[in-house]
Amino acid sequence: MKKSADGFLRLEGEKPQLVEQDAELQALAKEIREEYERRREERRAIELNWRLNQNFLMGNQYCDIVAETGELIDSPAGSEWENRSVYNMIAPIVETRLAKLGRVRPGLTVRPLTEDAADVSNAKLATRLLRASYAAQDMPAIQQAAGQWAEICGSVFYKAVWNPRGGCMIGWADGHPVYEGDISTAVVPAYEIFPDCCCREGVENQESIIHAKVYGAKEIETLWGVQVEGRTMDVFGTDAMSLAGGGYHPQFGMNRTERMEDAELVIEYYERPGAQHPQGRHIIVAGGYVVHVGELPFVNGENGKRGYPLIQQFCLTAPGNFFGCGVIERLIPLQRDYNAINNRINEYTARMTAGNLVAEQGALVNEELLDTGIAPGTVIEYRAGATPPGWMPVSEIPGSLLARLADMRKEFVDISGVSEMAKASTTSGSISSGVALEILREQDDTRLSITAEHIRSAMRELGQHWLRLLRQFAVGVRLTRTAGEDMAATAVLHWKRSQLTSDDVQVDTDNELSNTPAQRRQLALELMHAGLFLDPDTQQLTRESRARLMEIFKLGNWEDLTGTDELQRSAAQLEHCQLERGIIPKIQPLDDHQLHLSEHTRYVLSAEFRRMQEENPRMAQALQMHAEGHRALAEDQAAHAGKAVRTM
């Protein structure tokens, strides 16, 4: 396990080494580099489309692809006076899509492996771990960045790995800090991914995948513990961020090249398990040197198999293609025409307002007026007998041109699925019915539901990777915080990896696009008034239901409505962990004996307790005696309470 983590990221405190390669490793590095160049060339046409999409999104819309040379170049102007303004309709459409898709926050739930009480409890534990990991990694921000890349390239990738330097520090070894390790999720743009075949769908169907990225020499030394000779490299950049590598060299405009000093290209080669390599292969080449050779580091596949640490999220799928497609590429031809018509209208308007002077050749006394123009109030002298200069007659803007402009705005809606109501939050004055407005809103969301489903699918697969990484690398009893700072001292989970018996992750939320937060709160109010949140026996609102309502209304831990019940259950679960470590817990004066007895009964009925009876019968008997103590005290409390009621 440590070897797998070492291969991916160097552990803290290890000294960097100068790279010295024998003939075999040099040949392997050359082979990986040649394979990377082959895949880069195969993907060039696809990458050009991505670059074109990004330029149009960022407003650099007078460019095109030259098929003969495989380059992206500026489109030359037809004449010096030609108006080349940009009327960017793509940017607001993409921003609207991202804003709506930003509401997609899948709730991940783990289904139990069996109906056994222990499996049900473990599934609840895994669900809470997933939600804690989702919050700890700030996944909404990661999803937002991924959504932007998906709109540009048609697909984006999440890379889920185990970071041995993550989590809390648990001690020192040889003078260096030791960390418990934790999950790490990063967004990988499609620019950095090179599949074995671009015509084969699905990450899992690729024989091998290359992840190529430019790193600084110091970063390579920190991550892999080797020193490489850095050089100046071109990396893809937007604003101040260096986002890609692997040979992406844009040449102009908004989509530009940044120079990165003291850097090297790092090629990570992943090969899936096969007959020759049953555990797969993971090779890292930095600057032409092999810095790691080993098996695939993570057991993240089905049925305990090793697989790629990459999860693909689509904007829209493209049948027969590894990479997806996006809305931008469909809008580009329409955007070109829209710019052209708007510019022609502006030129027409300029002629109408400024006018064109018509003068007979040689008629003007001062011929310089033909070059400098005529200012208001200027006296124009013309030769005797010549035709006086005059203004060229102009007509109004043709109605067909204006009609075409209106039609094109409708075509933007038809192609993108984003209406003016979604972009500007306004509707036509002729629409006043609430039912009609709701129908329009649902029609907007229908087109987005395809992309939203791809997001949910990616999050579900990502959740499975998280659980499998925890099962592989989490050692000993782990403590995971599951509440805010106001409950940080006690709201923690005590767990170990053997409890992660199921990785059947499901998305339990409904369609976030069709049900807004306001609609869900209104529905909760209606259900509450109907009595569906009341306990069927007492017809009272339970603490659990009150806490759930506060969560729906986004009031958090308002006035500590959850009380101490959850803390009592957490304390009882901690006693189970103490017993497994050979520590017999003591009954505390402030224990809620009924809740403790309920948790201990659930544990006694589980398969894990049956294993304890076989492996450590002394601890199993101690737990039963401990539970009986809670039972006796609970009965005493009930008897005293009944006596007090009769006395009153």
Could you read off the pLDDT of 9-23 as tens digits, one per residue?
443 344 445 456 788
Answer with the residue of higher pLDDT: 512 or 335. 335
**How would residue 379 be classed by pLDDT, with cut points 50, 70 and 90?**
confident
Task: Estimate to the nearest angstrom the gap between the alpha carbon of 405 and the chain centroid.
Answer: 36
Tell me the pTM: 0.75
- For the chain, the average pLDDT equals 81
Q: Average pLDDT of 518-536?
A: 73
Answer with the residue of higher pLDDT: 377 or 149. 149
Q: How far is CA 577 from CA 113, 139, 496, 500, in A?
A: 21, 30, 9, 15
Q: Average pLDDT of 103-112?
A: 88
**How would residue 158 be classed by pLDDT, with cut points 50, 70 and 90?**
very high
Distance (Å, whole) CA 532 – CA 525: 10
End-to-end CA distance of the chain: 65
Q: What is the 8-class DSSP label of residue 541? A: B
Half-sphere exposure (CA, 13 Å, Cβ side) for 393? 1
Q: Which of these, 467, 475, 468, lies nearest to 2 by C-alpha position?
A: 475
- Residue 7 predicted with pLDDT over 50: no
Structure confidence at residue 145 (pLDDT) = 95
Distance (Å, whole) CA 330 – CA 28: 42
Tokens of 481: 């915080």
Answer with the residue of higher pLDDT: 237 or 141. 141
Tokens of 426: 């306004």
Structure confidence by residue, pLDDT tens digits, 179-189: 889 999 999 99
Q: How far is CA 403 from CA 83, 115, 343, 399, in A?
A: 21, 65, 15, 6
Distance (Å, whole) CA 290 – CA 281: 13
Distance (Å, whole) CA 49 – CA 51: 5
Tokens of 487: 């409950």
Answer with the residue of higher pLDDT: 425 or 313. 313
Identify the weakest region by mean pLDDT among 357-366, 461-470, 625-634. 357-366
User: Are the C-beta atoms of residues 559 and 596 closer than 8 Å to each other?
Assistant: no
**CA angle at residue 24 from 19 to 29, to 5 degrees?**
60
Alpha helices in 281-365 (DSSP H): 328-354
Whose tokens are 């659980």? That residue is 467
140: Cβ–Cβ under 8 A, 6 or more apart, which residues? Answer: 102, 105
Tokens of 489: 């001292």
Tokens of 284: 């890292």
Structure confidence at residue 434 (pLDDT) = 54
Structure confidence at residue 430 (pLDDT) = 52
DSSP E strand stretches across 41-148: 63-66, 71-74, 108-111
Distance (Å, whole) CA 613 – CA 619: 8
Q: Average pLDDT of 72-96?
A: 88
Identify the weakest region by mean pLDDT among 15-29, 156-170, 452-466. 15-29
Whose tokens are 């600057």? That residue is 287
Structure confidence by residue, pLDDT tens digits, 174-227: 888 888 899 999 999 999 999 999 999 999 999 999 999 999 988 888 888 888
